[in-house]
Amino acid sequence: MSSSLLHAASAQPNLTPILDMVFQLITFFMLVINFKTAAMDLDLKLPVVGSARPVDTQGQDDLLILNINSHGQLRVYGQLVSDVPHYIANEAQASLLVARRNNPQIKSGDELPSTVVIRADKGTPFTMLNHVIETCQTNGYRRFALKAMNKEETP
């Protein structure tokens, strides 16, 4: 009898419910995690435009995401790009190689099927923005997506 009581006092807690809960939380975070945000500079203050539509890649995954801050500096994956023309030319070359998988006829200088996603701060002067756009156009990019917020962000 006393042995049985001692055994009951040293009973281990049932960890199964807490494990269930933790796994549910892990599943939630795994589903909502979005590694594409790493390409975005979240410090930028995008302009607010009413007609900006939600992002729809239409099955197209080849995107060139360019973050331009208010000083006109280009940031990609958090890194400052000093030589913008060189960087865009390299990306265009990579896009061309990807495009050749679907269309072997495509040549250097042809229109690239990739989309340039421009995320610029609302205080970026046009001259700096235009420098990036012109460089992209020179390298064959024609499709652009200018990012904006649908509504003002609440702090």
Distance between CA atoms of residues 109 and 113, nearest Å: 12
- The yes or no reply on residue 125 touching another protein (CB under 8 A) is yes
Among 65, 74, 117, 132, binds another protein (CB under 8 A): 117
Angle of helix 126-138 relative to helix 84-102, nearest 10 degrees? 40
The Cα–Cα gap between 84 and 71 comes to: 14
Cβ 31 to another protein, closest distance in Å?
10
Among 1, 6, 53, 154, binds another protein (CB under 8 A): 53
How far is 141 from 62, CA to CA, in rounded Å?
12
User: What minimum distance in Å lies between the beta carbon of 104 and another protein?
Assistant: 24
For position 84 contacting another protein by CB under 8 A, the verdict is: no
The correct pick among 2, 8, 11, 50 for binding another protein (CB under 8 A) is 50
Q: Is 102 helix (H, G, I), strand (E, B) or coil?
A: helix
